[in-house]
């Protein structure tokens, strides 16, 4: 699958499956406010320890002006049940909607460098930033700076 994500272009459609009862939204459902996408995996220590808490913090701090969505990818082919996802949602206090990546198609289409991978769009759905990682002194700091630019 060819990577389709390009900076300053409209974010490509994703291929998501529901985890819970809620059907995945379309990319266009997030127009009119910036969108922060977290591509993560429950078997990724950086996702669990830093990325999910960061995404939760963004929901709390910028919830009225920023949409946050999670895409759980399964590149390691670990099997997770709905019960596993519910437990993770409760144990990690996940405050944003998240969905399964259908056969890792979105992961590949968006050119993710691994998990966690972040994508930030502006209110027009144009990709403003894409970065891999959860190091607070690198990826998360850079993401903070990019969001400050968008919200100014």
Give a yes or no: residue 27 inside a domain: no
Residue pLDDT tens, the chain, 152 long: 778 999 999 999 999 999 998 999 999 999 999 999 999 999 999 999 999 999 999 999 998 899 999 999 987 777 899 999 999 999 999 999 999 999 999 999 999 989 999 999 999 999 999 999 999 999 999 999 999 998 88
Peptide bond just before 116 cis, omega within 30 deg: yes
* Residue 94: other Cβ atoms inside 10 A: 20
Q: How many domains does the chain have?
A: 1
Residue 46 domain-assigned (yes or no): yes
CATH number for position 98: 3.40.30.10
Q: Are 14 and 69 in contact (CB under 8 A)?
A: no
Whether 65 maps to a domain, the answer reads: yes
Residue that the structure tokens 């050119």 belong to: 111
pTM (two decimals): 0.96
Question: CA–CA separation, 106 vs 52, rounded Å?
Answer: 19
């Amino acid at each position: 699958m060819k990577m389709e994500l390009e900076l300053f272009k409209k974010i490509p459609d994703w291929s998501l499956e529901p985890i819970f009862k809620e059907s995945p939204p379309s990319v266009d459902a997030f127009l009119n406010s910036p969108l922060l996408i977290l591509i993560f995996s429950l078997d990724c220590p950086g996702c669990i320890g830093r990325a999910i808490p960061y995404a939760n913090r963004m929901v709390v701090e910028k919830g009225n002006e920023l949409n946050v969505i999670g895409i759980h990818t399964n590149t390691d082919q670990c099997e997770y049940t709905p019960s596993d996802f519910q437990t993770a949602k409760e144990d990690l206090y996940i405050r944003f909607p998240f969905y399964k990546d259908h056969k890792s198609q979105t992961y590949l289409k968006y050119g993710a460098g691994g998990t966690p991978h972040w994508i930030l769009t502006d209110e027009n759905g144009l990709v403003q930033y894409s970065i891999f990682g959860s190091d607070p002194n690198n990826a998360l700091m850079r993401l903070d700076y990019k969001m400050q630019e968008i919200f100014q």
